[in-house]
Structure formats: C-alpha cells, structure tokens
Amino acid sequence: MSPVITAKNLTMHFRRCDALRGVDLEIQPGTVFALLGENGAGKTTLIRILTGFQKPSSGTCLVSGIDPGKDPLAVRRGIGYVSDSPSLYDWMTVAQIGGFAASFYDREFLTRYEESIRRYEITPDQKIRHLSKGQRAKVALSLALAHDPALLILDEPTSGLDPKVRRSFLESMIDRAATGRTVFLSSHQINEVERVADTIAILHRGKIVLHGALAEIRQSIWQVVYDVDDPLRAVAMLPRPAEILSEETSGSQRQVFVRHLDSSMIDDLRQTAGVVNVRYRIATLEETFVACTSGEAILQESPSGESKTEVVQ
Ligand SMILES: Nc1ncnc2c1ncn2[C@@H]1O[C@H](COP(=O)(O)OP(=O)(O)OP(=O)(O)O)[C@@H](O)[C@H]1O
C-alpha cells in the first residue's frame, strides 16, 4: 500500500531560524501517527506545509497523492484538519457554522456534525464567541470529522479538552484507524501518545531524530547506568549495532540511553577496567523522548527499518 503522507528532505528557513532541517517521513494508511516534539521543534510548521498553508523552502511532499504546495485546496478538501488555534466564525452559532461548512460537503456532513455536537453536549444555538476553550475545540473537531475524512491531521488536538473527553476522543482515533483511515496528530502528551499511536516520530530542532513503530521503539531502547572508579576514566562507546541516543555524566556515575543493546555488550562493560555496578533496563517513552531531545548523538530510523546515527549541531 502506498503511504498517505510522504515527505522528502523538507526544509523551512525563516528569517531568524531554520524551523525544518531536512525532514523525511512516510505515514502508512490505517495508522495513528504521533509527532512528538518540544516547544518550537517545528511540528506546526511541518503540519502547515502538509496542509498547504506554507510552502517549504525546499524538499517535496505528497498528501493523499497530491502536492500541497501545488494544490492546497484539493489537499484540504480531502482531509480533516484542526490547527493548534482553530479560527471559527465567532459571530455564528454552533448550528450555523455546521450548516455553513455542510454546504461544501455531502448531506451526511450535517447529520454527523449534529450528532457530534449532541455527544459533546454543546448547545447548538450558542454563539461561537461565547464558548469555552474546550467547547471551541469540540466544535473544531466536530467540523473536521463530519465529512469522515480518510486522513485527519490534528495539531495538539486535546489541549483544551478535559481528561474524560480527551480519553474518549483518543479512543475514537484508534477506532478510525481500525477502519483504514489515517490519523496524524502532534502532541506534547507522551502518556496519551503511548495509548493511541502505532508509529511515532520525535522532532528535535527541525529534524526527525527517531521514527518507527511505537511497539518496536518501546522494546529497543535501554537505559544503562554504571559507576566508574575515577570520574575522569574514559570508557569506550558501546559498539555497533548499539546506537547511543544520549550520554550523561554525574560525578562517578554515567547514564547512557542506547538502542539495539545486546547482553554481550553489558558483559563486556562489566569486564571493563574501572567500571562497576552496571545496571540496565528498558527505557520509558518519556525517557526516550528526553534522551532524543537533549543528547548530542541522535539517530533516525528510516521507514524501511534501517537506522542511522547523526549528530545535531
Ligand atoms: N512564520 C514564522 N516566521 C518566523 N519564524 C517562525 C514562523 N513560524 C514558526 N517560526 C519559528 O519556527 C520554529 C518552529 O515553530 P513551530 O511553531 O513549528 O514549533 P512547534 O513544534 O509547533 O512548537 P509548539 O509546540 O510550541 O507549538 C520556532 O522557532 C518558531 O519561532
């Protein structure tokens, strides 16, 4: 099956910063994909390029087979999209905005929209400008979902929602993917991402530093901690195929986050002169995120499963 989203070497130079620095990405249909990154990592910029609101400085991308730079309206007609700050016509009521949006789509749109508004317990004749932040988010989500798009792109979709609504919304995203539709969401909420995503990518300073199946990532990244007899002692890097995500020294203790560790490497480390008290365990996704976004040596996995390590300046 061909990917729903393909990005090749996307860059975005703004006057004062490089928001994207060569992003490669492939997202398969029928999956929930989560883009993780710190503030300012470039998530919104990438989403704006994929939805045709921003032209990249260089590189190419296809969304459902269409180049958003060439035909942004065709891309946006075919997808459901909620930005991080949805702009809605404030002077309309909840019902009016649904009726207005419905004029661009088939008859089912209004039925689905009204059903969603009822489920979210929003009063249809309330003015948009009088809605709370969470209610606005619910209206924006209802509009994005009402034409039942094959691809849904959501920038921080749950930021205004309370925990109960958040949970049921995320569960509904898993159901969507199970019917072959694709969900692309950006988030800071690692615990939420863990519950719903099939694949994730971590964006750090405009580069994707980790990309792959969540199940595989959760099983392949390890935290290794050991002590050295002398804080100045040099210890050799773990050999290939190990890939170091980050290394930290605190006095005589060293902590390494590493991908593709095997037990012989731990045995060798235990045999190393001056190294004592070696312990290791699987890293949590949160630890992996911190390691990927604070370490110097970082890696990128291609969709084919090969991975490479590179250094971020
Ligand atoms: N139109 C613009 N002009 C200049 N710089 C911009 C513009 N849009 C974004 N940037 C810069 O690009 C970088 C990435 O911003 P972006 O909004 O994509 O990050 P983000 O990952 O979505 O952050 P957050 O999680 O805080 O929303 C930031 O340094 C930001 O200041």
Instruction: Output the pLDDT for position 310.
Output: 39
> What is the Å distance from ligand 1's center to 146 Cα?
29
Phi, then psi, of 266 in degrees rounded to 5: -65, -40
Q: Of all protein residues, whose CA lies closest to atom 1 belonging to ligand 1?
A: 14
Q: Is the predicted pLDDT of residue 286 greater than 90, yes or no?
A: yes
Is the same domain home to 40 and 173? yes
- Residues 194-205 have a mean pLDDT of 94
Q: Which atom of ligand 1 is nearest to the CA of 48?
A: 18
**Mean pLDDT (the chain, rounded):** 88
From CA 245, how far away is CA 191, in angstroms rounded? 20
Triad 307, 311, 313: Cα angle to 5°: 145
**Residue-number span of the structural domain to which 282 is assigned:** 216-311
- pLDDT at position 295: 52
> If you measure from the C-alpha of residue 20 to the centroid of ligand 1, how many angstroms do you get, rounded to a whole number?
9
Q: What is the mean pLDDT of residues 307-312?
A: 36
Q: What Cα–Cα distance (Å) separates residue 230 from each residue in 226, 237, 272, 299?
A: 12, 17, 13, 29
Residue 198 has pLDDT above 90, yes or no: yes
Cα separation, 43 vs 48, in Å, equals 9
Strands 5-13, 151-155: pairing is unpaired
Q: For position 235, which CATH number holds?
A: 3.30.70
179 plus 39 within the same structural domain? yes
Both 84 and 62 in one domain: the answer is yes
CA distance 174 to 130: 31
Distance from the CA of 3 to the center of ligand 1, in angstroms? 26
Q: Tokens for 38, please give them.
A: 């710190």
- Residues counted in the chain: 313
Protein residue closest via CA to atom 20 of ligand 1: 40
Query: Do 86 and 224 belong to one domain?
Result: no
Q: Whole-angstrom Cα distance, residue 113 to residue 94?
A: 10
**How far does the centroid of ligand 1 lie from the alpha carbon of residue 258, in Å?**
29
Cα(292)–Cα(298) distance, rounded to whole angstroms?
A: 6
Pocket residue to mutate for ligand 1, from 18, 35, 36, 44, most atoms within 8 A of Cβ:
44
Same domain, 162 and 72: yes
From 10, 12, 13, 14, give the residue whose CB has the most ligand 1 atoms within 8 Å, as the site to mutate.
14
Between CA 290 and CA 277 the distance in angstroms is 24
Backbone angles phi, psi at 9, to 5 degrees: 50, 45
Structure confidence at residue 231 (pLDDT): 82
Q: Tell me what ipTM this predicted complex has.
A: 0.98
The Cα–Cα gap between 120 and 201 comes to 30
Domain count, the chain: 2
Whole-angstrom CA distances from 49 to 56, 65, 94, 169 are 6, 15, 29, 25
Reported as a single tens digit per residue, the pLDDT across 41-68 is 999 999 999 999 999 999 999 999 999 9
Please give the pLDDT value at position 206: 95
Of ligand 1's listed atoms, the one at least distance from the Cα of 84 is 27
The model carries a pTM of 0.87
CATH code at position 79? 3.40.50.300
